[in-house]
Chains A and B, each alone.
Chain A
Amino acid sequence: MIIHHPLLGPRDAQEFTYLGDASLIDRPDWQAEHAVDRFHDYLYLRDNPAGEHRELWFHEVGDRSWLVVTRNTLTHEITSVELARDVARSRGRSK
């Protein structure tokens, strides 16, 4: 499988490690009401879609950037690759 890194171009998937669902970026506010319940869901509940899935990949043997890869779990077709920091900032997650 080839991942088209937004900065470095096509790279072999063996250079990357997989973390999981990109929704991990949306960490709950620890001061919010029902924070314990939200962290339970954040930690343990995952969707398992047959189809398009947004997931976090780490370019371990490369520039060590985190990526958000949109991959079809049925065909392994990758339709979008973004720097995770850009995704996080667009959601107001970073300073």
Chain B
Amino acid sequence: MHDMIALTALGAASAQVDTFDGLRIAECPYWALASLATRSGHGAEIADAAQTFLGAPLPGVGLCADAVPFHAFWTGPDRWMIEAPHDSHEDLAARLKAAVGDAGSVTEQTDGWVRFDATGARCHDVLERLCNADTRRMNPGTVTQSRIEHLGCFLICRASEHFSLYGPRSSAHSLHHALVTAATSAL
């Protein structure tokens, strides 16, 4: 039996948390991800299958759908990302593929991304220095993509002062450095 220790995207055994005056930036390694894309001409089948699997309709343009334990967000025309707790849904992609069959293409995404959650009243002061997105005008339950530190990231507004950032996992240190540097400068 191997005795291996799972490491987070930042290479530590536990998740990195940085606190500032009015802002908390936390690495969130406990989530599984799978992407879903509609195959041409199968939109209605995907909508039905996904609703049965998730318990909620797939979200429209720029929106998220919460259906505990799942969270789905729109990533492009006929494409979505599905998020679920890693402990209970490590095989999320396989389960999703079994649900949608040949109507959709599913790709395992869990280890492709790193998630940082920015919470607190000052989160906008930091995000406005990092990306184009007008986070103050984003409503809870919306998602946008933007460039942060030269990286294409998903920016999910979970509440008015709670944002999740998904960036490429291989650049986790760069993204974390950008967040902490901006927070140190702004707060």
Contact = CB atoms under 8 A, between A and B. Distances in A.
Chain A contact residues: helix, strand, loop or mixed: loop
B38 interface: no
Which 9 residue pairs spanning A and B have beta carbons closest together? A63-B76, A61-B147, A61-B152, A7-B61, A62-B145, A64-B76, A12-B132, A65-B77, A95-B40
B156 to A, nearest CB: 14
Contacts, number: 35
Given A12-B132, A15-B147, A63 B40 contact: no
Nearest to B75: A63
Interface string A4-18: 000110011011000
A47 to B, nearest CB: 29
Interface residues of B, number: 15
B62 interface: yes
Interface of B: 40-41, 61-62, 74-77, 79, 132, 144-147, 152
5 contacts: A7-B61, A7-B62, A11-B132, A14-B147, A62-B145
Nearest to A9: B62
Given A8-B144, A64-B76, A95-B41, 20 more contacts: A7-B62, A8-B61, A8-B62, A12-B132, A15-B146, A15-B147, A60-B152, A61-B145, A61-B146, A61-B147, A61-B152, A62-B146, A63-B74, A63-B75, A63-B77, A64-B75, A65-B76, A65-B77, A85-B77, A95-B40
Contacts of A7: 61-62, 77
Provide the main secondary structure of the chain B interface.
strand
Contacts of B77: 7, 63, 65, 83, 85
B80 to A, nearest CB: 11
